[in-house]
Amino acid sequence: MQFPELPKKPFLSVYKPQYIVFVIVGLILDLTSKYIIIKKMQAYESIPVIGDFFRLSLTFNTGFVFGLFQNNALPSLFATSFAIIFLIFYRWSNSDLGNPWGWNLVMAGAFGNLSDKFFVKIPGEGFRFGFSPERPGIEFIGVVDFLDFEWPDFLLFERWPAFNVADSCVSIGIVLLLITMDWKEEAKKK
């Protein structure tokens, strides 16, 4: 079995120090916001911020995107880890594809949600390292989601699934990448 070759460009020419710092700051902002919510709220509590349009609602996503396939924390952990490794090498191999800040936002969000999966959450108290709650119903696993917005009933969901800072980074990063990627030019190079 032969492993694929590493990209020719030096790693730090693609992942410049300022980009790495940006990803770390995004990770810290995400985990800090989740920690504050866990300390201040109880599980499944909802606090209106702008009436019913925007609420802070503490939920735990043990599945995948949009809360699909709940109660799959371990497969979700492996899928997220694989996605991050793939994205690191894809970006390293295609360094000219898309805006680097779009990539940085995606990576900050991916690392934020991955890191969150390594902790058991104890609402009102904080969290501890681990993958399974010792006191079910009091301790929770999964990614902390808390930004809860109203959504038109006729568009898939009654409310938009709650999300977090990391999810926001990923979404904004993907939009930025889609806007800035020149797919036709990349196809011509091959």
Report d(CA 150, CA 63) in Å as an integer.
Answer: 22
Which has the closest alpha carbon to 105: 176, 35, 33, 31? Answer: 176
* Residue 46 DSSP class: E
Is 52 tagged catalytic? no
Q: Which two tokens stand for residue 119?
A: 């902790």
Q: Which two tokens stand for residue 57?
A: 């609602």
Report d(CA 6, CA 144) in Å as an integer.
Answer: 35
Give Cβ neighbours of residue 169 (< 8 Å, ≥ 6 apart). 26, 30, 105, 106, 108, 109, 112
Q: Which of 145, 148, 153, 182 is catalytic?
A: 145
Is 145 tagged catalytic? yes
Report d(CA 156, CA 137) in Å as an integer.
Answer: 29
Q: Which of 30, 116, 148, 167 is catalytic?
A: 167
Q: Catalytic residue numbers?
A: 145, 167
